[in-house]
Chains A and B, each alone.
Chain A
Amino acid sequence: MWKFARVIVQHGSLVLFVLLQALCLIWVVKYNQPQQKIYLYSYQLMASSLQSKVQRSLDYISLREKNDSLAEENARLLEKIMNGMERENINEDSLHLPVLPGPYKVLSARVINNALDRRNNMITLDRGGQDGIAPGMGVITASGIVGIVTDTSQRYSLVMSLLHSNTAISARLSRSGFFGPLVWEGHDPAILRLKAIQKYADVRMGDTVVTSGYSVVFPKNLTIGTVSMHRVSPGSFTYDIDVRLSQPMTKLDQVYVIINEQKEEKLELESKFSRYE
């Protein structure tokens, strides 16, 4: 035993140094605020660029598959145009790309990082400030909504996923028109909870839930999901409505960022409301 200890004392000093230094570094980034910020920022930067590299190489492998799906989509669009030329009215809503009315511009982006396992989940996109993305913009896919941009760097942007405790999307029941905030309860990544729907409202299973368009983030009538459960708890005045997302958050790749060019104008006008309170 003593022999062993002596060997450690004589030859283990370098190992000891490495161990203690590692402990120090962990302490530094864990308990010192400025250092922690720098560490997290650098980590995010490195992780993002690594992830985009990995993604790029993976993309290369699946090029053939992508090609096929693009060709398929092309074919479908061509079909619609041909049909449209005959019938003179193209049903825009059924095109694969979401067509938005009014002041909105759409920018395509790819998801390069996506978390599901936490209470507050974030998504990283491969486009950022230099492409015109800014905090507060909505992110959607062809079949549903994804989240809201919170931070951008030069080439990447961070999106607060729907699966986040601060999420509150203004949503509306498409059939009956009642609206309320849509939040995530933190259990099932496929289910969100629609709140504040009065109990006299007409809610049915399978009802479509869409964006209300009352916020400046998402335009009106984008599909969010369908009602998968509804009930009124005893003593409550409002429904508990579970909404199954039409765009599963587990499968995100191509997304679209919505740029609202009249956002400032609307917010500025609405801020005048405080004068009358």
Chain B
Amino acid sequence: MSKQWLGLIIRTLLYLLMQVIVLKEIHLGTGEMPGVAILVYPVVLLTLPLQIPQFFILLLSFCIGSLVDLFYLSPGVHAGACLWMMLFRPLALRLLEPKNGYPTDAAPTISDLGVVWFSQYAGMLLVVFFLSYFILKVFTFVYIGQILLGAILSLFVSGIIIFLLQLFFSFRS
């Protein structure tokens, strides 16, 4: 049990380090407008075990978002986006609930619930994440086109990376 938690913490730290050290330096897109943001750390929040109450999930997402904000020098933007994403987590879980319920002690990962289930689940919540991220970042609906374009492109790029990483780890374990 404690081994599972230790693994979770280590995985979280690794993802965060990768985000703020490696991925932060990759700039896709042109001009000064927010281009494509490669954000994979939300997968840490996505794959938190189902048994954790929503209350702590929200607290955790706020903390992790704020931590990333510290490195991106954008207080409130990542934290806000994480909160919005995690607000919809219970809804996504209810929508995608298997016929005979979730297995006990499951985490919403590929190894526990399958490739199709995970991609639906992650896809839904990442749409929420990237939309709210770009809304908070651009902060005006005058540039709604930029918000949508940035969200779609970022979702595409980050989604693929997240999916591949998850797939890799599920095979290994």
Contact = CB atoms under 8 A, between A and B. Distances in A.
Interface stretch (B7-15, B72-80, B94-102, B109-117): B72-80
Contacts, number: 65
Interface stretch (A11-19, A64-72, A73-81): A11-19
Interface stretch (A32-40, A121-129, A130-138, A234-242): A32-40
Nearest to A8: B55
Contacts of A32: 74-77, 139
Interface in B78-121: 79-80, 83-84, 87
Contacts of B74: 28, 32
Contacts of B54: 13
- Chain B facing A: main interface SS: helix
A28 B139 contact: yes
Contacts of A26: 76
A9 B56 contact: yes
Contact of B58 (A17, A25, A28, A39): A17
Contacts of A25: 76, 80
A16 to B, nearest CB: 5
B139 A10 contact: no
Contacts of A27: 69, 75-76, 79
Nearest to B139: A35
Contacts of B124: none
Interface residues of A, number: 23
A273 interface: no
B58 A20 contact: yes
A35 B136 CA distance: 8
B129 interface: no
A176 interface: no
A254 interface: no
Given A16-B59, A28-B80, A31-B75, 14 more contacts: A10-B55, A13-B53, A16-B58, A17-B58, A20-B79, A24-B62, A24-B76, A24-B79, A24-B83, A25-B76, A28-B74, A32-B139, A35-B136, A35-B137
